[in-house]
Structure 1
Amino acid sequence: MAEATYDPNNIFAKILRGEIPSHRVYEDAAVVAFMDVMPQGTGHTLVVPKAPSRNLLDADAATFGPLLAVVQKVALAVKKAFAADGVTILQFNEPASGQSVYHLHVHVIPRFEGIPLKPHSGQMEKPEVLVENAGKIRAALGI
């Protein structure tokens, strides 16, 4: 099987270029964090490097330091913003793992005792809920 290449027209690349709207909670020179429109839990946030790569397997190693620093920052903020009991960090690579968008990204999901993750059903969250949750995270980040 031929090695897959990065598609610059994937949905996250379009979000990074501002071609598709998103509810951003954080941005710096290397990374953007925004609300997942199909959340598996309250406050589900995606952290995405601006550098193009399909996933962890083909990313430049220099991408990981800035990416993981923001993952930690966002994880602390979502835990605080939603008074969560914990935080799940997920990252998928290639179809067999469950990856469905082929731009490196990390899921940051606040977790609550006794409440399971919702399935990734393809059902979009109401925009007003995403706006409210994004505001809570930005407040926790001090933005």
Structure 2
Amino acid sequence: MDCVFCALIRTGSASWVTRGPVASAFAPLSPIAPGHTLVVPTSHFADLFDTPPTVLAETTALVRLVADGMRSALRADGVNILNASGPGSEQSVPHLHFHVIPRWIGDGFSTWPGGRSQHQVDGDPVARLASAVAG
């Protein structure tokens, strides 16, 4: 069976923040906040433990770049970075991924995965974030 993230990467059918040879970032189908982004290695690695250190380093560097973009482009007050790796972690897709979720003071979001943020962002948050990540 093909990995859902690998299929998105192969077909290009996601809302992309950025695509690269080692790491890519895109909007999830059900974002819990405006600009919520998934950052993944472009090649398939099941989880944190399966990923070579060089790929993990480039993937986490993209996590940081996306988080910086959320502060500048979306005016987020902070971010949550979430990852589940391995069978005991409730990992939903067996492809390493980091949820980067922008946060605002008083946004109404209290726990993962307890709800959806009530914060609104003007315009398309994915396009704004893509512009910020591109520099």
Q: Give the Cα–Cα distance (whole angstroms) in 2 for the partners of residues 45 and 27 of structure 1.
A: 13
Is residue 64 of structure 2 the alignment partner of residue 72 of structure 1? yes
- The size of the alignment, in residue pairs, is 128
Provide the aligned C-alpha RMSD in A: 2.4
For structure 1, the 5+ residue unaligned runs are 1-6, 124-128
In the alignment, which residue of structure 1 is the partner of 2:6? 13
CA offset at residue 117 of structure 1? 5.1
Once the two structures are superposed, the pairs formed by residues 44-123 of structure 1 within 5 Å of their partners are 44-115=36-107, 116=109, 120=113
Q: Give the Cα–Cα distance (whole angstroms) in 2 for the partners of residues 35 and 99 of structure 1.
A: 18
What TM-score comes out, normalization by structure 1 length? 0.79
- Deviation readout 1:74-126 (Å, 9 max, x if unpaired): 110112221111011111112432210010011111001122157658x9xxx
Identity %: 33
For structure 2, the 5+ residue unaligned runs are none
What TM-score comes out, normalization by structure 2 length? 0.83
CA offset at residue 139 of structure 1? 2.2
CA offset at residue 10 of structure 1? 1.3
Q: Structure 1 residues 102, 40: CA separation in 2 closer, same or farther (over 3 Å shift)?
A: same
Displaced runs of 4+ in structure 1, greater than 4 A?
Answer: 117-121
CA contact (8 A) 2:45 2:95 kept: yes
